Structure 1
Amino acid sequence: MTRHITNTISQQFGRFASKEFPRWFQKIVNQGYVSIMGLDMSEFYAPSTYRSLNALFTRTLKASRHFSNDADDLISPCDSLITECGDLDATRALQIKGMSYCVRELLGSEIDDANKDRIEHGQFMNFYLSPRDYHRYHVPTNMKVLKAVHIPGKLYPVNMPSLNKRADLFIENERVVLECENQQGRLFYLVLVGALNVGKMQVSFEPRIQTNADAQQPTAYAFDDLYLKKGDDFGCFEMGSTIVMITEKAGMALSVEAGRKVRFGDTIAKLS
């Protein structure tokens, strides 16, 4: 199968971003990116300390952020803009206002139909990470990971103009679907959606997942005893992209709305 042009562009950009240039030149590249994109580096090390642009993209926090330890509080998994959120229309979610898509197709063929039935009339949230955001993602609640599915696809941009003009964008793009269960015993999904210039989506607990590579068919990885704690860092986008969260019906009471900027650690819902 011929690779889509978006995948080729993203691979080439990934090679550039991962290259470690001479220190003097890397400093110019990093500082230029920080200035052009308007990055807030107050929680991170100086731009000049990162040996590549990718190391700057995937930077870690110097100090841990504080968040609620209440088991019923769901926290934001990332720094992002909530582009849409709310109730599913049966099994349809909003990509953006006026543009919906089928959640069953988003989750893919490797997720059991019975579990897809469980999220009918459930709830969803879309988290868009721009190139200026902190790119790592964290566990939003104490959870058990049941399955991870890598679904190869295209790498169209997922910014606001693209969300408004390209139907089924999340379904066309490469993604990693995490099937999870929270402490309340409710099923939910975290879907990491790739985008243009996202060389890779890292999933720290499953290194066999290699995105924007040569895979052409979905691959599923099942887990028997994989528990993650709220706030744990479990990977990153190597550039900005989107996370979609989907829960069972009445699985959470949202305390945010579309258009709000959130940071990893902010309480965004109450679990039920």
Structure 2
Amino acid sequence: MNVIHRLLQQESLNFVLTNRLPRVALTRFMGRFAKIRNPLVRVPSIAAFKFFARPDLGEAKQQKFDSLRDCFVRELKPGARTFDASPHLVCSPSDGIIGGHGRIQGDELLQIKGMPYSLTELLGNDAAAAQLAQQHQGGSYVTLRLRAGMYHRFHAPTDCRVQRVTHIQGDAWNVNPIALKRVKSLYCRNDRAVIETTFHDAQGQARSLTLVPVGAILVASVRLHFLDLNLHHGYAGPQVLPCDAALQRGQEMGWFEHGSTIVVLAPPGLELVAGLTTGSEVRAGQGLLRLG
């Protein structure tokens, strides 16, 4: 078994196996396959998921699942994730590993060292995207990568109001570090949602906070509870979705149907909490950004 894990860690093999296949078709298939409840499919597929992804199911609200999908989007036991209540903190919306992060200056962000991408392109590459990008100038960005075995639900990082969601249809590249080193502007290529929110800082000033959940191979859909909507490769509804949803800090916003990535875009005055850096593992509710 360890031999299989070692083989999958070889960069060239991993990249070919997870990116040179028909990515979108495979992702759509996984969306259907993961919902199968027949035990002849469910039992071995969940066993394979446990072996390869090594999820911590001890904190799951339930221990038995009706399908592989139910295991992916599992709820946690009450109190498993506590959101820091400090008004000076914006919490991590999800479990994840910190990737590219830094100050937003100009239009260039880093997906990994030496691999820049365009903020405006990430947000949709139109006039509205350029205006939103401008609101974050001088602010900070943090990339959170959710491994396949992690808790897949994401939450409001602070008390906020969702004003608009833009769905941008795209590809389904893997978002692991191996792919990030090889595929230029990867986040701008993949299917994603731009969730625009506002919040009030400790002084009562309204600020912009944007979350960009990015899809990936095998991520069949992104669920947004406040719109009662699943965004996926076959979604044919409106791409720009006006919204007026008030969310409390820690309130569940939605889930990924597999591991993926969230890019957090913060306004000026917010910086990464001291001690956090690339490679740090964080949990939903942990302080991520601090008002300076």
- Answer yes or no: same fold by TM over 0.5: yes
Q: Deviations over 1:7-41 (max 9, x none)?
A: 1110011111111112x653343233223322111
**Aligned 8 A contact 2:273 2:287 in 1:** no
SS in 2 for 1:69: coil
**Aligned 8 A contact 2:123 2:129 in 1:** no
Corresponding residue number in structure 2 for 1:76: 92
Normalising by structure 2, we get a TM-score of 0.85
Corresponding residue number in structure 2 for 1:11: 28
Alpha-carbon deviation of 1:46? Answer: 5.4
Task: Give, as a single letter, the amino acid of the residue that structure 2 aligns with 1:115.
Answer: L
Cα distance in structure 2, aligned partners of 1:219 and 1:162: 27
Alpha-carbon deviation of 1:111? Answer: 2.8
SS in 1 for 2:58: coil
Q: Over aligned residues, Cα RMSD in angstroms?
A: 2.0
Q: Is 1:103 matched up with 2:123?
A: no
Instruction: Give the alignment partner of residue 105 of structure 2, picking from 77, 89, 95.
Output: 89
1:1-272 correspondence to structure 2 within 5 Å: 5-22=22-39, 26-45=42-61, 47=63, 49-64=64-79, 65-108=81-124, 109=126, 111=128, 113-184=130-201, 185-208=206-229, 210-215=231-236, 219-223=239-243, 225-255=244-274, 256-271=276-291
The range that moved more, 107-116 or 80-89, is 107-116
* Gap change, CA 1:89 and 1:113, over 3 Å in 2: closer
Q: Which runs of 5+ in 2 are unaligned?
A: 1-20
Cα distance in structure 2, aligned partners of 1:39 and 1:112: 36
**Aligned 8 A contact 2:270 2:289 in 1:** no
Alpha-carbon deviation of 1:117? Answer: 1.5
- Give me the identity figure in percent: 29
Alpha-carbon deviation of 1:254? Answer: 3.0
Q: Deviations over 1:57-108 (max 9, x none)?
A: 0000121322321222211111111012111231211100111111011111
Alpha-carbon deviation of 1:119? Answer: 1.3
Alpha-carbon deviation of 1:245? Answer: 0.5
Cα distance in structure 1, aligned partners of 2:109 and 2:49: 34
The range that moved more, 239-248 or 60-69, is 60-69
Cα distance in structure 2, aligned partners of 1:46 and 1:143: 30
SS in 1 for 2:120: helix
* Gap change, CA 1:40 and 1:170, over 3 Å in 2: same
Q: Deviations over 1:167-220 (max 9, x none)?
A: 0100010100001111121112100100000000111111345312154x9711
Cα distance in structure 2, aligned partners of 1:124 and 1:205: 24
* Gap change, CA 1:203 and 1:117, over 3 Å in 2: same
Corresponding residue number in structure 1 for 2:14: none
Count of residue pairs the alignment pairs up = 265
Cα distance in structure 1, aligned partners of 2:24 and 2:99: 24
